[in-house]
Amino acid sequence: MFGKILGKDKKSSSSGSVSHGEIVNKIAKMNLPEMRSYVNNKTFNFELCEDGLVEVLKKLTILNEDTQHRYIQMDDMDSKIKKGFDLIITIASSRKISVEAVELIQEFITVYEELVKKFDTENKQIYASKLNDALATAINGVNRLSEAQRKMSVLGE
């Protein structure tokens, strides 16, 4: 039960017949618009789940071992950077958020801190505060989920 809340239960995904390995492979091949469609739960033959959100966040945050680059670079076009930031904000407000996803959002904010400042300055945007607000929203979402699970376990006993 708590494994699902904490995002640690990889064997049982809520996406039905799609396994964790299939989710990882499909998300590895996606570009930003496809990831956005997936996070918005549109146009894909598999349902949005906690594992999928975590894999999208890993793709955006963690260093690619093959290329030694992150998905978003300082010299990328502003539109790609903006779409990446907006995707993080969308993920943070998802109902399928998990503790692992919140940790990856925190890591994203830390890793891309300089890029966010540069983007905000050059484009007169406020993504630094938007991302921090999104993190607070994600934390509140996880807290609501754990509170609901706690109430369900009390009622079930």
Structure tokens at 74: 């300082």
pLDDT digits (tens, 9 = 90+) for 146-157: 888 888 888 876
Q: Which residue has the higher pLDDT, 11 or 135?
A: 135
pLDDT digits (tens, 9 = 90+) for 102-129: 999 999 999 999 999 999 999 999 999 9
pLDDT (0 to 100) of residue 157? 63
pLDDT (0 to 100) of residue 11? 46
First-residue to last-residue Cα distance in the chain: 14
Instruction: Report CA-CA distances (Å) from 84 to 31, 36, 60, 62, 75.
Output: 10, 9, 8, 14, 14
Query: Quick check: 31 pLDDT over 50?
Result: yes
pTM (two decimals): 0.82
Q: Residue 115's Cα: distance from chain center in Å? A: 18
Q: Tell me if residue 38 falls in helix, strand or coil.
A: helix
Query: Quick check: 94 pLDDT over 60?
Result: yes
Contacts of 60 (CB under 8 A, 6+ apart): 70, 71, 72, 84, 87, 88, 108
